[in-house]
Amino acid sequence: VARLSRAVGMTVWGLCRANKQSRPEFNRLTTVGNLSEFLAGCDYICNVLPSTTETQDLLSGDALSSCKSKSPVFINVGRGGIISEESLLAALENGWLRGAVLDVFKEEPLPVISPLWSHPKVTVTPHISGPSVAENIAEVFVRNYEKYVNKQSLDHVVNWEKGY
């Protein structure tokens, strides 16, 4: 997402758990400790965060009130647990967000009775932001199997301490 956004001329900020060295796909990196300042400067917020104890409900409550001056669009393609449905609806009604494009939800599938389905500022997508293609999965498996047999470091290893 970041590389594509930079390629089309967007200024891209990234939010990290800890200070990191600059990376070419980001104009600026900051930490969760600066969340309010980060949110206040966004025209679009694209959540791609994993689901960890640190990210659960990160944007719930009045966290998005920091957005009120720019009223960005919230795009959620990461994990639904980053924000409660109630908090998202409140942010839309209060004008803290201009709109939302939602591919993931705290409760999945999104219940039929959810007001998000019919909210005029919400676009619901069919959970397709990160499609898996069988051929790609097979290629990764074969590559990792070959690395495993040859006692090499594997690709895409889960860090259990981080939760992803």
List, run by run, the mean pLDDT of 10-residue segments along the chain (164 residues): 90 89 90 96 96 95 97 96 97 98 96 98 93 88 97 94 85
pLDDT value for 164 = 84
pLDDT value for 48 = 94
pTM (two decimals): 0.88
Spacing of C-alpha 23 from chain mean position: 18
Please identify every residue annotated as catalytic. 79, 127
